[in-house]
Amino acid sequence: MAVVVRSRSRRRRGALTPEDGETLAEAAELALRLRRPLVLELATAGSDVGHGVASLVGWGQGARAVAACSGVVPILCLVRGPAVSGPALLLGLADVCVATADSFAFLSGPDMVASYTGIHLDIAALGGLAHLERNGVAALAAADASEGWDRIDELLGYLPDHHDALPPTRPTEDPPDRATPELAELVPSDPHASYDVRRVIASLVDDGSLLELRARFAPQVVTALASLGGQPIGVVANQPQALAGTLDIGASQKAARFVRFCDAFNVPLLTLVDTPGFLPGKDLEWRGMIRHGAELAFAYAEATVPRLCLVLRKAYGGAYIVMDSKGMGNDLCYAWPTAEIAVMGAQGAVSVLHRRATPEERARAQARYEAEVCTPWLAAERGYVDHVIEPAETRSALSAGLALLATRREHLVGRKHDTGPL
């Protein structure tokens, strides 16, 4: 069950009147009282100009009420046409937005863009579905409203009604101790070879089924909802197929928001690590890579849900830390025998530590570094990895770990809100 509020697009293309803002606010307040998810169906041409500034105040009151629901009940949005001007910000307030093929959204329309920049674009080129997916506004796409409601229904199947409830158990006949020998072939032993981490996730989770969110936004990180032993989980995974799985600003923001979303609604987290580090570049640094990278570190650090981490292959440098390492407070950390956990790769480390050595000495030092340092065994000896497991026993180990953490509880310290990076 959910509280649903729809804009009336047949009247002035859904332009919001002051009364519409009041209706939106009433729906949000009802969702809070009933502790039910809030679902917005939007097709709006913006604020109704005929009512003047009162229309702006109206949707602002509605936005304030929707914001009050954040972290208390899930906020889902289905946009099935225009969502322009100020009311388009409602898409950003939602936890997950589903957009149909004929939808478009922007704050400033084509005419205003042309007058300010001299660049002429049509509606689709400015804010069509493809752009909404690439910029992360739309987490899921649908052909039409009917399919959009199916996606909303699928989402709700992974989530509790409110933040004080646990996610619903999902029926499955997939044995939790099922062996996964195929993983040894899915992930190449060559640390420079690429593979699709979504196939790894599908092999691990129940019935090979996962619901990926924001697939076209920052694709070097995969964020998906799935289940393990019937328990809904959120999966965060580096994607070697895109930028070798490095983290940049978009990837950090995408993963951080997903971690906070799962943590808010008691969905345990599974993090799959295979990353060489943060993506280098002056443009990224100038745009605030430090601040945005800290978003991901902060999200994991304050998460209180059960957290499992599995190092598949590479785990280097600061990116290893922010991908829910033991230092960030994960509950259980696993690694495959071929995993490489270190400050940097062997070649980079040797170039720093033995910069004056001959090529032959560097080769010997690199081989020694790979054998002694870039292994999960050293990390396990120091307590940074709880268990080194074979790929074939990965699902079984993760299922057992998740079951062990089912009774995990934390004492939450009351505070007005955090001041973490945004």
pLDDT digit string (tens) for 333-358? 999 998 988 866 656 655 666 666 77
pLDDT tens string 1-29: 999 999 876 666 677 888 888 999 999 99
**CA gap 292, 195 in Å, rounded:** 27
413 — pLDDT class (breaks 50, 70, 90): low
Looking at every residue in the chain, the average pLDDT score rounds to 90
What local confidence, expressed as pLDDT, does residue 189 receive? 82
What local confidence, expressed as pLDDT, does residue 375 receive? 83
What local confidence, expressed as pLDDT, does residue 301 receive? 94
421 — pLDDT class (breaks 50, 70, 90): confident
Q: Are 152 and 76 in contact (CB under 8 A)?
A: yes
What local confidence, expressed as pLDDT, does residue 64 receive? 93
What local confidence, expressed as pLDDT, does residue 52 receive? 75
Q: Are 367 and 342 in contact (CB under 8 A)?
A: no
Work out the angle between the directed axes of helices 18-34 and 53-69 (0-180°, nearest 10). 10
**3 state SS of 351:** helix
Strand partners, 142: 100
56 — pLDDT class (breaks 50, 70, 90): confident
Give the helix ranges, DSSP H, for 170-248. 183-186, 197-204
Strand partners, 221: 238
> pLDDT at residue 285 above 60?
yes
What local confidence, expressed as pLDDT, does residue 360 receive? 72
Nearest to 105 by CA among 53, 75, 141, 70: 141
**pLDDT over 70 percentage in the chain:** 90
Residue range 62-70: average pLDDT?
A: 93
What local confidence, expressed as pLDDT, does residue 142 receive? 97
Strands 221-228 vs 231-238: parallel, antiparallel or unpaired: antiparallel
Q: Is 73 left (phi over 0), alpha (psi -120 to 50) or beta?
A: beta
pLDDT tens string 80-134: 988 888 888 999 999 999 999 999 999 988 888 899 889 999 999 999 999 999 9
Task: Read off φ and ψ for residue 3, nearest 5 degrees.
Answer: -95, 120
**CA gap 317, 295 in Å, rounded:** 17
What local confidence, expressed as pLDDT, does residue 98 receive? 98
54 — pLDDT class (breaks 50, 70, 90): confident
Residue 88's Cα: distance from chain center in Å? 21
**CA gap 77, 24 in Å, rounded:** 13
331 — pLDDT class (breaks 50, 70, 90): very high
> pLDDT at residue 233 above 90?
yes
**3 state SS of 41:** strand
- CB-count exposure of residue 229 (10 Å: 0-12, 13-18, 19+): buried
Q: Are 120 and 109 in contact (CB under 8 A)?
A: no
Nearest to 137 by CA among 84, 207, 200, 58: 84
**pLDDT over 90 percentage in the chain:** 69
Residue range 311-326: average pLDDT?
A: 92
190 — pLDDT class (breaks 50, 70, 90): confident
